[in-house]
Amino acid sequence: MKKFLKSSIITSAILIVLGVLLILQSETTIMMISYIIGGVLVAIGALALIRYVKNGESPALRNELDIVYGIVTIIFGIIIVQNYQAIASIIPAVIGIAIIISSAGKLNYAFQLREDESRMWKTTMVISIISTICGVILLFNPFKAALGIMKIIGVFIILYAVLDLVSTVAIRSSVIKIQKAVEETISDAEIISEEESKSKKRKKKQKKDK
């Protein structure tokens, strides 16, 4: 749970930064993203080619697919760098899918909070549903003909990130309360068990004395 909450907060912070950049510097941000993706693909392809050359002397280790995979990946990376506008049409769908998956996870936690009789389950569920709607809108992207599409997407991303942060804080608060309740229950059970153990020992001692 701690790892999930930590990763959720980090993801929301990154999305807020991305949303702000898309609003303020749409074209520069898309170009930067395409350069990063293209650069990573070129690097992966280059590593595949190096691996093929390195293992060339050993037929057992050599994989013929490495050279094909390497060349195709490098070409694909270069195409992305040179055609960053194409990334603009993919980003909404990718982010939309990521938001839907994340919202589904939060919805699952909302049901768990309801089972634990936490009052925050309704808030978490409503936020998860709104976030899912944002994800679906981005996935199907009805703003294709709109002016400044990236600015609109940036607003949606920030909206989701803020809602996600609120939901994460709500879940964290509920989890802490549940943990405390469980710890108190365990502590009480240990005390009762200890008292019962002492009582049994006293009874045994009394029998021996008799």
Residue-wise pLDDT tens digits, 42-96: 999 898 888 878 776 666 556 677 788 888 999 988 888 888 777 777 777 888 8
* Segment 149-172 mean pLDDT: 80
User: Chain-wide mean pLDDT for the chain?
Assistant: 76
Distance separating alpha carbons of residues 35 and 37, to the nearest angstrom: 6
CB 137 within 8 A of CB 9: no
pLDDT at 187 (0 to 100): 62
Which residue would you say has higher pLDDT here, 62 or 12?
12
Q: How far is residue 155's CA from residue 161's CA, in Å, rounded to a whole number? A: 10
Lowest-pLDDT range, 102-111, 128-137, 189-198?
189-198
pLDDT at 198: 58
Q: Higher confidence at residue 173 or residue 25?
A: 25
pLDDT value, residue 43: 92
> In this predicted model, which residue has the larger pLDDT, 24 or 2?
24
Max avg pLDDT among 2-6, 15-19, 140-144: 15-19
Per-residue confidence (pLDDT) for residue 175, from 0 to 100: 66
Instruction: List Cα–Cα distances, 102 to 7, 62, 95, in angstroms.
Output: 11, 40, 10
Give the closest residue to 17 by CA, choosing from 165, 141, 172, 170.
Answer: 165
What's the gap between Cα 5 and its chain centre?
9
Residue 15: pLDDT over 60:
yes
C-alpha–C-alpha distance, residues 129 and 139, integer Å:
15
Task: Give the C-alpha separation, 167 to 99, whole Å.
Answer: 13
